[in-house]
Structure 1
């Protein structure tokens, strides 16, 4: 259902989004001990279907480490998923507002189902209080606050300390083809920025609910001015309820030569909000992109619509067909699907899924992708 509003990137909106991003993922909390998952009874045999989680320290910073099922009894080496905001990744006892990504459980499930090869996950904790924004946002901004230099220092810490620690301590596959960086919100900004500028270290980026509003649109200006095309695959997503501009970033990347469905994927989650619960429901997608099979044939198509927001704040209704692929990934195919309007006197749909109403009437559209067709009614409540 298309909402009747026009998005405005006002100072009040920035403040509200800032508080959501900063407080929703960054409430200061004393460290809580986390038991390895699963906890083994004395003398009990390890559960070969589940990985384990432990906490290490690098200086004063906690590093949360997931080792895959069978790690202790094998000599295999494994790809590594690096993640920001480590306290929120595995356990509610350490997370903000008792919400977590459930990544250990998601990886166990994907491995068990045959949709993912075994991986190590290294989740690096964020700095406390305002340090988080300064470490994660590479653009100067007084309200976050960030000086633009803290993100460079955090990146050096990641490249020069975290990765060497992981490669020397665990049986990783220590090359860029077997490393991914992932984050959400401010952590998504940092993951995108670090992975994009260091393709010699990372081959894939997962940027979920990336806070595109930071620095009053400077993020888009910076990304637009980037030259060349790094050799990385990129996952982007957003929740429709978040009402943040993301389509322009997808368009920027496509203009630089990324190929949709090959080295860039995007999902608009129709019910997605800005929290760990929403991210836990779609984190399987970038994980499969990194260490699963290549998507081939769509097996399911679900259609919704949302307000596509430009980086300048204008908004337009857009169809959102989401394909479930044979490898388990789910992503939007707005520009890859075809559209047949059954009542063209009422409106039009362009090849990218953008909707134009011509009269006060709902629009009936047949949406087709890879041989699957769904009929969808776009409600016109202007």
Structure 2
């Protein structure tokens, strides 16, 4: 049963899917500022939300596969199940999940334009999307009972969404203290030499040790090569460049494994939401483990 109401000047509806771990507020056409294209955003609130507590927040790209199948693959992250299992084992504190649907994924999640065919370019919209996510955080903190400090705030995504999370979190590291890039597309936008790539040239200053807001980073990849040629090649590239990025972060930026850099190689994971669902639990335990 859905109940529609207004919050922060936006139309939203409450719906309860019967998940043990929480219930939903869904904005079908969230428009933060005049000129924004309306966007669908799901807010998954813990069952205890009605009390006086405040909650850390996890922002997820690819919101159209976060809770239900229907995005680019037939699978879902199954977030309510992942969180429910963690709550039952008392492994994490309750969190708010904000899942953001892309408007044009191939444009929004790439920082530079690139040719996908000899006659077609995609990408270039990530700076704009990064700005949107910063504004969305302000809306969420204003209208929900959040713990708004950066250490309690994570942005994550997978594949191109993982690249987008890395880029967005770095540029807005004063807002997002934790970044999780699952099977990230670090090669996208041109990589001949990672340190001098367009991506690293943009985020470089945010990763140095003298940045008081330097983010914690989670980077992972899978070792399973299946589910067709496309996923085989993509996850192969994710592993290759994920390893190189981790090495670069340690060597050039002084990140320390287990302290502010966390990497995970999933021996059984491929390039799909089933693998990322499993690793989501690991990310949440890393950043939101119970004291």
With normalisation by structure 1, the TM-score equals 0.60
**Whole-angstrom CA distance in 2 between matches of 1:224 and 1:174:** 27
Which of residues 240, 243, 255 in structure 1 aligns to 2:236?
243
The reply on whether 1:276 has 2:242 as its aligned counterpart is no
CA contact (8 A) 1:188 1:208 kept: yes
Which of residues 24, 46, 58 in structure 1 aligns to 2:30?
58
Residue 197 of structure 1: CA displacement?
A: 2.0
The reply on whether 1:165 has 2:168 as its aligned counterpart is no
The range that moved more, 55-64 or 201-210, is 55-64
**Whole-angstrom CA distance in 2 between matches of 1:174 and 1:233:** 16
CA contact (8 A) 1:139 1:218 kept: no
The reply on whether 1:98 has 2:70 as its aligned counterpart is no
Which of residues 257, 261, 269 in structure 2 aligns to 1:260?
257
Which of residues 82, 96, 111 in structure 2 aligns to 1:120?
96
**Whole-angstrom CA distance in 1 between matches of 2:171 and 2:131:** 12
Which of residues 86, 110, 123 in structure 2 aligns to 1:137?
110
Match for residue 75 of structure 1?
52
The reply on whether 1:153 has 2:124 as its aligned counterpart is no
Residue 213 of structure 1: CA displacement?
A: 2.5
Over 3 Å counting, the alpha-carbon distance change for 1:37 and 1:223 in structure 2 is same
CA contact (8 A) 1:236 1:266 kept: yes
**Whole-angstrom CA distance in 2 between matches of 1:218 and 1:102:** 36
SS of residue paired to 1:207: strand
**Whole-angstrom CA distance in 1 between matches of 2:151 and 2:258:** 19
Over 3 Å counting, the alpha-carbon distance change for 1:38 and 1:260 in structure 2 is same
Match for residue 10 of structure 2?
none
Match for residue 183 of structure 2?
209
With normalisation by structure 2, the TM-score equals 0.78
CA RMSD after TM alignment:
2.2
The reply on whether 1:36 has 2:16 as its aligned counterpart is yes
Over 3 Å counting, the alpha-carbon distance change for 1:285 and 1:142 in structure 2 is same
Residue 218 of structure 1: CA displacement?
A: 5.9
**Whole-angstrom CA distance in 1 between matches of 2:14 and 2:100:** 15
Structure in which a larger fraction of residues adopt helix? 2
Residue 224 of structure 1: CA displacement?
A: 4.8
Structure 2: state its 5+ residue gaps.
1-12, 32-37, 226-234
CA offsets per residue over residues 308-339 of structure 1, 9 Å max, x none? Answer: xxxxxxxxxxxxxxxxxxxxxxxxxxxxxxxx
Match for residue 234 of structure 1?
217
Larger C-alpha radius of gyration, 1 or 2?
1
